[in-house]
Amino acid sequence: MRSNKSGLTRRGFVVSTGAFAGASLLPAGAFAQSEQQAVTLINKVLADVFAIIDSGKPEAQMLADFEGIFRSYADVATIARYCLGAPWRTASSAQQSAYTKAFQVYVSRKYGRQFRKFAGAEVKIIRSRDAGNLGILVETSIRLKGSEPYAVDWNVSDRSGKLKFINLIIEGISMLATERTEMGSILESYQGNLDKLIAHLNRT
């Protein structure tokens, strides 16, 4: 089930490796009320993703639509804050707001371009289970044409007050860990200048 022989490799979908560092890195709070609600959410996400893929729209419009999915179904504030790490605490309110908006667009474009490769893929919900402080884990399987299926898992929580996904895991590679490493690398290249990081994300 976790074979990765397709043309869409895990390094192609998630640019760098790493496992999510642990539940303690996300604030405690109320989490997904039930596994069925979490499964329903992910079914909606997948349905909307494939509706965009099948729409035949130009890439710019598709990427804008993918941003709408991310904004609607992901806990963007929590994801963005976690991926920035310690610099979030010293950022001004204006910087936090600008960074969150830039991060939302950046992630939507980055993963939206990869989602386009899912045309004609088969997707199945495998199971859901309690993931403790990370809410509910919904396990799905994606099979591209001519390839064996591989695992795409979702962490879902309601800590924001509404049921949202907070992480996407491709064959064991965590979006949260990947983007936290990426944000740290970009920020380091700008000698810790958050405004330059924000400008970089807006250009990407």
pLDDT single digits (tens) 137-154: 999 998 888 888 889 999
- Structural domains in the chain plus CATH codes: 10-19+31-203 (3.10.450.710)
pLDDT per residue as tens digits for the range 174-191: 999 999 999 999 999 999
pLDDT reading at 5 higher than 50? no
Cα–Cα–Cα angle for 189, 195, 200, rounded to 5 degrees: 60
Q: Is pLDDT of 203 > 60?
A: yes
Strand partners of residue 93: none
Q: How many percent of the chain have pLDDT more than 90?
A: 59
Quote the tokens at residue 136: 């509910």
Output the CA angle 47-53-57, nearest 5 degrees. 130
> What mean pLDDT is predicted for residues 61-77?
94
Please give the backbone phi and psi of residue 7, each rounded to the nearest 5 degrees, phi first: -65, -25
Q: Which of 199, 166, 123 is nearest to 29 (CA)?
A: 166
Give the pTM: 0.80
Residues 6+ apart with CB under 8 A from 93: none
Terminal Cα distance for the chain, rounded: 34
Using the predicted structure, report yes or no on whether residue 155 has a pLDDT greater than 90. Answer: yes
Mean pLDDT, the chain, rounded, equals 84
